[in-house]
Amino acid sequence: MTRRIALLRGVNVGGNRKVAMADLKAMVEALGFTDVKTLLASGNVVFEAGDRSDDELEALLEAEAGKRLGLVTHVIVRGPAAWRAMMDANPLPDEAEREPSRFLVNVAREIVTPDMLAMIRAVATPGERIKAVGRCVYIFFGDGVADSKAALVFGRKALGLTSTGRNWNTVQKIADLIRA
């Protein structure tokens, strides 16, 4: 069996796309997956997935979330090795350590191109530091996320990324869960 992490995009944010984590857990278990655990109320679920690929799991979980939960969302799936590699590749470790709640990793399906990164940086405030590595964008929100225009860019189709963000505290909690 292969452990997987599934991140649902935009769940329970600002009163939108509401879903109880107990319902999400029940859905994943009903699909035949085992050792299912959810974390926080932001759409994080860890489970044993058998031999299915990340792409297959993303499509299956998106379709089932729509059918079973009435939830239209994107799902990003990673394995433990990819999660650890994402953490190890963090190009802004000092910021992540100093203020983990203001440090976000935006996990994407696609490789983040220089043009995509330029679009994000074009709207960033002076207090924001933004770097990309592979399929992740790492952002330090020096003045907080609430008023950030860079954070809003990820919802735009023009960017061309299917992604979802988690702050460093959550990234670390998920890492702890997959070690268990």
Token pair of 132 as six digits: 């990309």
Among 78, 112, 134, the domain boundary falls at: 78
**101 with 152, same domain?**
yes
**Contact 7/162 with Cβ under 8 angstroms?**
no
The answer to whether residues 9 and 74 touch, using CB atoms and an 8 Å cutoff, is yes
Residue 175, judged by CB atoms within 10 A of its CB (0-12, 13-18, 19+), counts as middle
Number of H helices, E strands in the chain: 7, 8
**Which pLDDT belongs to residue 11?**
80
What is the residue-level pLDDT of the chain in tens, covering all 180 positions? Answer: 589 999 999 786 666 678 889 999 999 999 999 999 999 888 999 999 988 999 999 999 999 999 999 999 999 999 999 999 999 999 999 999 999 999 999 999 999 999 999 999 999 998 899 999 999 999 999 888 888 888 888 767 778 899 999 999 999 999 999 884
Q: Are residues 143 and 95 in the same domain?
A: yes
The answer to whether the pTM exceeds 0.85 is yes
Query: Of the candidates 78, 98, 122, which is a domain's last residue?
Result: 78
Whether residue 116 contacts residue 132, with contact meaning beta carbons closer than 8 Å, is answered with yes
Q: Specify the number of domains making up the chain.
A: 2
What pLDDT was estimated at residue 15?
Answer: 65
Residue 180 lies in a domain: no
CB atoms within 10 A of CB 125: 12
Which residue has tokens 């702890």? Answer: 176
Range of the domain at 55: 3-78
In this structure, the strands spanning 103-108 and 128-133 are unpaired
Name the nearest CA neighbour of 145 among 168, 111, 115. Answer: 168
For residue 42, what pLDDT is reported? 84
- Supply the mean pLDDT for the chain: 92
Residue 180: per-residue pLDDT:
46
- How many whole angstroms from its chain centre is CA 9? 7
